[in-house]
């Protein structure tokens, strides 16, 4: 196997939640491997992602959309295809989190998280998969799962439920789409320094507890996901279907 196997030249990746954190890093990594990027964002324009992608010589198309409105996912894909001729790779990265004690958790916080993290992921994948099937050249769908796809956690009931759902949907979609030449896999990040984990890092006690369990001895950074994303998007992963790569510094091994 040559290094060319990992190249993404001539391909286009749609990455949700591209403005910051994991989405920005993944977009940068895929662009460095040769892919053009359609970056979906909600409110803050993804200027840093655009600069990083265009610095690689690849094209960046910013696409505003609210993943909290799942019914708009098909229209979002249509808009994307109005700017680019094809979508070869979909990265379902966008996600939100709400923290509160189980007995105090609100229905609104439940619905908001499930709509973005799970329902929109399914509908966006469905729309992109239809495009891939119609084009007849296969494709790659990469979902962003979590350590809480495997564990229960505390104070994040809707997030835990959504990420368990992502793991199950990854397997379901792989079962149905593998015969159509579409690889569906996931990445489960560990504790990564992003806006979603700021509250944990600010809590000295909780931060110390987390670091004590991570064999690598540090929080991850968004760049740590680039290699896994490039691999799953490339032909090197052509026989991978329904798998979840855990990028966690060894957390689950402890």
Task: State pLDDT tens for residues 76-98.
Answer: 999 999 999 999 999 999 999 99
Q: Is a pLDDT exceeding 90 seen at residue 210?
A: yes
Our separate counts of H helices and E strands in the chain read 9, 7
Task: State pLDDT tens for residues 159-184.
Answer: 999 999 999 999 999 999 999 999 99
Question: Per the residue annotation, which of 41, 150, 159, 191 is the catalytic one?
Answer: 159
* DSSP conformation class of 243: -
Predicted pLDDT of residue 235: 97
Strand order in the sheet with 182-189: 60-64, 36-41, 12-16, 89-92, 139-144, 182-189, 244-247
Is the separation of the CB atoms in 129 and 181 below 8 Å?
no
Q: Where are the domains of the chain?
A: 3-246
Please state the rounded mean pLDDT for residues 34-44: 97
Task: State pLDDT tens for residues 96-152.
Answer: 999 999 999 999 999 999 999 999 999 999 999 999 999 999 999 999 999 999 999
Active site residue 159: yes
Does the domain at residues 3-246 carry the CATH identifier 3.40.50.720?
yes
The alpha carbon dihedral of 181, 77, 26, 196 has a sign of negative
Is the separation of the CB atoms in 192 and 219 below 8 Å?
yes
Q: Is a pLDDT exceeding 80 seen at residue 188?
A: yes
Q: Is a pLDDT exceeding 90 seen at residue 39?
A: yes
Q: Is a pLDDT exceeding 80 seen at residue 2?
A: no
- CA 245 – CA 64 distance, rounded (Å): 29
Predicted pLDDT of residue 11: 98
Task: State pLDDT tens for residues 135-151.
Answer: 999 999 999 999 999 99
Task: State pLDDT tens for residues 56-66.
Answer: 999 999 999 99
């Amino acid at each position: 196997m040559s290094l060319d196997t990992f190249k993404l030249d001539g391909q286009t990746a749609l990455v949700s939640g591209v403005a910051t954190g994991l989405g920005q890093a993944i977009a940068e990594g895929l662009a460095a491997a040769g892919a053009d990027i359609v970056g979906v964002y909600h409110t803050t324009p993804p200027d840093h992602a655009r600069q990083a992608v265009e610095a690689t010589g690849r094209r960046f198309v910013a696409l505003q959309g609210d993943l909290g409105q799942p019914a708009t996912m098909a229209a979002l894909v249509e808009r994307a295809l109005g700017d680019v001729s094809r979508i070869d790779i979909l990265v379902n990265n966008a996600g939100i989190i709400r923290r509160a004690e189980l007995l105090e958790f609100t229905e609104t916080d439940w619905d908001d998280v499930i709509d973005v993290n799970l329902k929109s992921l399914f509908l966006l994948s469905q729309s992109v998969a239809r495009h891939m099937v119609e084009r007849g050249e296969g494709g790659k769908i990469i979902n962003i799962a979590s350590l809480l796809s495997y564990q229960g956690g505390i104070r994040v009931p809707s997030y835990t439920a959504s990420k368990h759902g992502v793991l199950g949907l990854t397997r379901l979609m792989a079962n149905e789409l593998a015969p159509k030449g579409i690889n569906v896999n996931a990445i489960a990040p560990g504790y990564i320094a992003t806006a979603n984990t700021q509250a944990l890092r600010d809590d000295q006690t909780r931060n110390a507890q987390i670091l004590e369990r991570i064999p690598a001895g540090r929080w991850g950074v968004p760049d740590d996901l680039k290699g896994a994303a490039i691999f799953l998007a490339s032909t090197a992963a052509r026989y991978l279907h329904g798998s979840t790569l855990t990028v966690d510094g060894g957390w689950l091994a402890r």
